[in-house]
Amino acid sequence: MHERSLVHRLLQQVQQIVADDGGGQVTEIRVQLGDLSGVEPLLFQVAFEEMVSVMFSSACQLSLDVVPVTAVCDHCRQQFEIVDFQFRCPDCQTGAVQVVQGDQVKLISINVNSDNPVEGVAS
C-alpha cells in the first residue's frame, strides 16, 4: 500500500514546515488528491489516522479534496473534465490533450495553533 509511504512523507514535510515556522500544534492538514493520482482516498485517510499520532497530536485532522481530471485540448484550447478515461476533446474530438489538473497529490494548507508551540520543534 503506497498510501502509507505517501502519508509518512506528508507528515515529515508538515513537521519540517512547522519547525521552520517556529512550531505549534498542528490541527488540520489539507491535501488535494487527483482522481488520476493513483491514490485511494479511503486508504490514504486510514493510513493518516494510523500514523498521525506518531508526529502530531491525534486531534490533528486530515481534510481531503478529491479533484477531477481536467485537460486542455492542444488543437482548440478547450478545457474540459475527463469522464470515463476518455482523453478526447469533446468539441473537436482530437486526442491531443494535456492533463492540467487531477493527477497529483498536493499539500494545500496546514492549520497550526501557535499558542501551544510543542510540535514541529526539533529537540
Query: What are the pLDDT digits (tens) for 66-94?
Result: 999 999 999 999 999 999 989 999 999 99
pTM of the model: 0.82
**Furthest-apart CA atoms within the chain: distance in Å:** 59
Cell numbers at 122, concatenated:
526539533
Q: Which residues contact 73 (CB under 8 A, 6 or more apart)?
A: 79, 80, 89, 91, 92, 94, 96, 97
Domain range list for the chain: 2-113
Domain 2-113 class, CATH top level: alpha beta
Backbone angles phi, psi at 36, to 5 degrees: -100, 10
SS3 category, 103: coil
Residue 122 pLDDT level (bands cut at 50, 70, 90): very low
- Quick one: 17 exposed, middle or buried, by C-beta within 10 A (0-12, 13-18, 19+)? middle
pLDDT of 123 above 90: no
Query: In what order do the strands lie in the sheet containing 79-81?
Result: 79-81, 70-73, 97-101
pLDDT tens column, 8-18: 999 999 999 99
pLDDT tens column, 28-57: 999 999 999 999 999 999 999 999 999 888
pLDDT over 70, % of the chain: 92
